Amino acid sequence: MKSNDYLHKDSSKSDADNTYQSTFKVSKTSKVEYLMNQDSYDEALTLIDNMLEEDTSYENWKLKGIVLDNLCEYESAVESFDKALGLDRNDEALLNKINSLYKWAKVSYFPDLKYDKALELIDSALDILPESEDSGEFYFLKAEVLESMGERVESRKNYLIAYKEFDKLNEFQRQLDYLENTPDTLINITGSYYHGYTPRPGDVVRLVEEPENEHDSDAIAVYLDNDKIGYVANSEYTLFDKLRSATKIKGMIDDNSKAEILFVYLDEYVIAKIIK
């Protein structure tokens, strides 16, 4: 917008009239837009508030929401967009509201560190986001918030949705269902990458006790053929609720005990089940 775009010429008189002097009328709406283009948002807000005293129209409420959004007053911006939407369910105001909710969620996440509030705002935005709009940024932000809260499973789901990796999402859900419902005895194999082994589902490995291990007398080594590929996890940092530690399975295995590698969970846990 040019600096004088908010001025409109009154052409009620002819230019051919030598006595004519041009007069201009200022559109208040255009003046608000002009002030925003000049980054004069406080002045624009004062003007739009004056306008709303006389005209509580959809356009004025929407315009106030835009001004407030630029002032980073996101809660008030959302309230203004809601008032606009109460007068006209227009997609423009709806998308403006969604954008303000997203920005509000971002500052709630960081620097405010209000994780629950951030999640609430993201979900509110997702609830009204049209299917035609890309939801990737919203799910990515939600995944970041959940990760900061230590909710690794839900975070992973949202990252996969954000990246539209739905096949991986289905596989991850299959893993979750298995871990929740299986009667199998499960272990985590640690150190596989250190030993140069890339986990492959279906590989059958041997479990060999190492009572003389100087670091852990309950240590159980894992062998593929004749190559050591790691150990059965035996630390709280390498286990979660569904897994058995080396100490807990020590009395369950013998010289012929084996395990089958099933999958890598959360890019960290090499999950295997003990087989006879």
State the span(s) of the chain assigned CATH 3.30.70.2330: 184-275
Average pLDDT for 209-227: 96
Q: What is the rounded distance in angstroms from the CA atom of residue 77 to the CA atom of residue 220?
A: 60
Q: How far is CA 166 from CA 116, 169, 172, 266, in A?
A: 26, 5, 10, 16
- Percentage of the chain modeled with pLDDT above 70: 90
Take residue 127 and report the two structure tokens written for it: 């609830």
Instruction: Output the CATH code of domain 184-275.
Output: 3.30.70.2330
Average pLDDT for 161-186: 98
With a cut of 60, say whether residue 3 has pLDDT above it.
Answer: no
Q: Which of 16-20, 169-173, 214-218, 243-247 has the lowest mean pLDDT?
A: 16-20
User: How confident is the model over 78-126, as pLDDT tens digits?
Assistant: 999 999 999 999 999 999 999 999 999 999 999 999 999 999 999 999 9
User: How confident is the model over 63-73, as pLDDT tens digits?
Assistant: 999 999 999 99
Q: Which of 191, 189, 220 is nearest to 203 (CA)?
A: 189
State the span(s) of the chain assigned CATH 1.25.40.10: 7-96
Q: What is the pLDDT of residue 27?
A: 67
Task: Please say whether the beta carbons of 243 and 185 come within 8 A.
Answer: no
Q: What is the rounded distance in angstroms from the CA atom of residue 104 to the CA atom of residue 117?
A: 9
Which class is 7-96 in CATH?
Answer: mainly alpha
Q: What is the rounded distance in angstroms from the CA atom of residue 276 to the CA atom of residue 141?
A: 45
Q: Which of 10-14, 75-79, 138-142 has the lowest mean pLDDT?
A: 10-14
Q: What is the pLDDT of residue 35?
A: 95
Question: Rounded to two decimals, what is the model's pTM?
Answer: 0.84
Start-to-end C-alpha separation, the chain:
77
What mean pLDDT, rounded, does the chain reach?
91
What kind and span of H or E run contains 94?
helix 91-109
What kind and span of H or E run contains 262?
strand 258-265
Q: What is the rounded distance in angstroms from the CA atom of residue 248 to the CA atom of residue 225?
A: 24
